[in-house]
Every structure is written in C-alpha cells, then in structure tokens.
Amino acid sequence: MWRNRSLGAIFVLIITVALAQAQQPNSCVDCHSALEGELHVTQEQFAQDIHAQKGLTCASCHGGDPSKTDDSAMSKAAGFKGKIERAGVPKLCGSCHSDPAFMRQYNPSLRTDQFSQYQTSIHGKRQAAGDTKVAVCTDCHGVHDLRPASDTRSKVHPLNIATTCSRCHADAEYMATYKIPTNQFADYKTSVHHEALVERGDLSAPTCTTCHGNHGATPPGVGSVANVCSTCHVFQAQLFEASPHKAAFASAGLPGCVTCHSNHGISKPSDAMLGTSAHSVCTNCHTQGDAGYKAAGDMQQQISGLETSIVRSDRILSQAESSGMEVSQPRLELDQARDALTKARVTVHTFAAHPVRADVDSGLKITTKTYGEGEGALRERDYRRTGLGMSLVAIVFVVVALRLYIKEIEKNQ
C-alpha cells in the first residue's frame, strides 16, 4: 500500500513539473510568432533548433528576459542586445563555440576552432575588412532552426552543402563585385563527385567543403591542388608526385590534377583521355615525336588491349553460362583481371609505359586463363551433347527392340 502511494506521489510530481515547464512564459516567441518576415519565429520552429534542444533560450544570444511580459523584457540595462548585426555574428557564435570548457558540457567531440579558422578564410578576412556581403555563420548554418550537420535537413549536411554555397556563389549579380566565376555549382552538378554524392548517396564523396574547407574556406592554390585531391585519391597522387609531370607542371605554373581532369565539373575519367587521339588530354601538351607522346600511345594501347581481352573472356564465359555450364570460378578469376585493369589505370599517373605494362601483363595472364576455361566449358558442353545424342540413339534402339519383342511374344500367345 505504502509503495503504491509513493509511486502515485512521484507520478503527480512529474506531471506538475512538466506542466510548469510547458507553461513557462516566453514573451519573445509570443510576440515574434505574430511578426512577419525575418522577425517571424515560432515556438515550433525554435523547438527544432539544436540550441533550444540543449536548453538554450532566446536570451542566450539576444539577451533580455523572456519571462517578463512588459518592456523590461527588452531592457538594454538588463543586457538585451536585440538583433545581432551580421558583423557581430561570428564573434557571438564564437563566444561559446570557441570555448572548449563550455562546449564540453554539450558536445565534447565538437571542434572549437571554427572561429579561428573563419578568421583565416576568405570570408573571414573580407568580413574583417568591412565587407558585409560575405558569408557569416548563420548564412550557412541557418538561424532559429539550426540543426546539427548530421541531420539531413541541415543546410550543412553533405547532401545540402553545394546548394547552400550556391545561394551566393551561383548568383552572378551578388558575386559581381568579387569578379569570380559563378558556374561552379552548375559544373559540379555535371561531375562524377555530384553523381556519387547525390545519385548514389555516397556521403564520403566530395562536396564544396571537402576541397575548399568549411570554416576556413579558401580556394586551393596551384601548388596545393594535388594535395587536396590526394586526401581521397592517395595512390594517384603518390604516383604523380614521383612522375616527371610533377616538375614539368610546377615549372609551367599548371595545377596538378586539374590540368587533365578539370575541377568543379570533373567527369568520370575514361581511357579516351589517354593516348594520342583528338579526345586525349595528353596531346594538349605533347606532340608527335616526343617521348611523352609515345608513352601516351603505348599506355592507351596496353589498357585497351586488356579491356578487350576482358570483354572477350566475359563473352565466352557468358556463352558457357547460358548453356548451363558452371563457370563461377573463372568468373571470380576474371574479377582479378578487372582489378588489374583498375590498377593499370591508376598506374597511368606514373606517365610511363613500363609500369603500366606490368599491371596489364598480370591482367592478360588471367584473361588468357579464363578464356581457355571458357573454351573448355564450351568443349565440355559439346561433349555432353554428343554423349546425349549417342545415348538417345541407344535408348531409341532399345525401345524399338522392346516393341518388336513385345509384338513377337504377343503373336505367339
């Protein structure tokens, strides 16, 4: 009985506290929910904000006292700040987000160098110089309904970052004073990176901030492009570093990877980029007779040779498979030839024919074997069918003989 009464009392207490919390007055939202335009903020909207969820209130940024319902709620003497000027936004956000001790209470894993990074960024530098058009924290992260970057509805979720950046960087009129191109977003949407991120949902695929940085956003210089790409394309970058192109590009003032692959509109590399045809990027610099021209032709020929050989093996194995032959083992081996082809395509970044040949040869060895196995499977199929034909002849012979024998014995009965 006593236990039941105690449980009842605890339940009533919880309900009372919850109701008291729910009914706590917030004069900011009471008024702002009735206002229009950028001053419009509702309780529902703010409830979605990560700050509200962590227990912060309007007063945490804007000062004042939401519990008061008269003018004293916005008393400047009591610390009311009102609207935060754009110029003051980074510093205000940084007052908490740059304080490791403070942030540890909410999210110990969150970095606290955003403000210092921002100050080194092109946005931060221009903002410090008095440019009010450049991006501040709220332009990218939003305000009053700010969500963590892991939330797909967040403006800084990987799937949304490019759109967020494009709000300024694709606006030719807005960007006119900076004299920089505004086609980056349009180009990016045609790129293999965009396809991987948006169409295939691969959140590890690069978006604007992957290459340019986020809080410290700045365009990578000519010398550092290869470093940026190498964060993902490690092997290609290592081979490029050791290749003759490294020094040649540096002396010509050409950015590493971008020279052949472009930047924002980077398309899926194809073997046509290699070699000496009109579509090749090698012929942009190399001309007939030079060593690079010859190496480009050799590499292209070897790679296309391996590809043709893989297709040939695949075709014969498919033919055997469609005849019902078990060829899963050669199929598995053929995957290794495909791996060798991929490796050869990476080795192209040595810009020398010899290392590419080594990879291609290992692939060709496998395709020769798998093609032979395909041929063997087809021979076995024909052998089976011949065997069947002979068996059927024997069966027909026995059936006819039986029929004749039955006729014979029934004639005598």
Partner 1 sequence: MAPLARVRNWLDERFGWDELLAPLRHKTVPIHRYSYWYFLGGITLFLFGVQVCTGILLLLYYRPSANEAFESVQYLMTQVKFGWLVRSVHSWAANLMILTAFLHMFSVVFLRAYRKPRELTWVSGMLLLFLAMGFGFSGYLLPWNTLAFFATKVGTDIAGQVPFVGHRTMIFLRGGEEVTGATLSRFFGFHVAVLPGLTTLLVGVHLLLIQRFGISVPARIEPEWRELPQEKREMRFFPSFLLRELMAWYIALGVLGALAAFSPWGLGTKADPFAPAPAGIKPEWYFLFMFQTLKLIPAKLGLLDGEVVGILTFSLAGLIWLLVPFLDGTKRTQRLVTGAAMFVVAYMGMMTAYGYVAK
What is the four-CA torsion angle of 218, 221, 223, 229, rounded to 10 degrees?
Answer: 50
Q: Are 362 and 310 in contact (CB under 8 A)?
A: no
Largest CA distance in the chain: 131
Residues that bind partner 1 (CB under 8 A): 324-326, 328-329, 384-385, 387-388, 391-392, 395-396, 398-399, 402-403, 405-406, 409-410, 413
Cα separation, 392 vs 372, whole angstroms: 30
Our CB check for partner 1 shows the closer of 186 and 395 to be 395
Cα separation, 8 vs 16, whole angstroms: 12
Tokens of 37: 């335009």
Least separation in angstroms between residue 329's CB and partner 1 is 7
Q: Are 207 and 193 in contact (CB under 8 A)?
A: yes
Least separation in angstroms between residue 322's CB and partner 1 is 11
- Output 73-79 pairs: Cβ under 8 A, ≥24 positions apart: 73/27, 73/28
Our CB check for partner 1 shows the closer of 132 and 329 to be 329
Cα separation, 79 vs 96, whole angstroms: 17
Least separation in angstroms between residue 393's CB and partner 1 is 10
> What is the secondary structure of 374-403 as a DSSP string?
HHHHHHHHHHHHHHHHHHHHHHHHHHHHHH
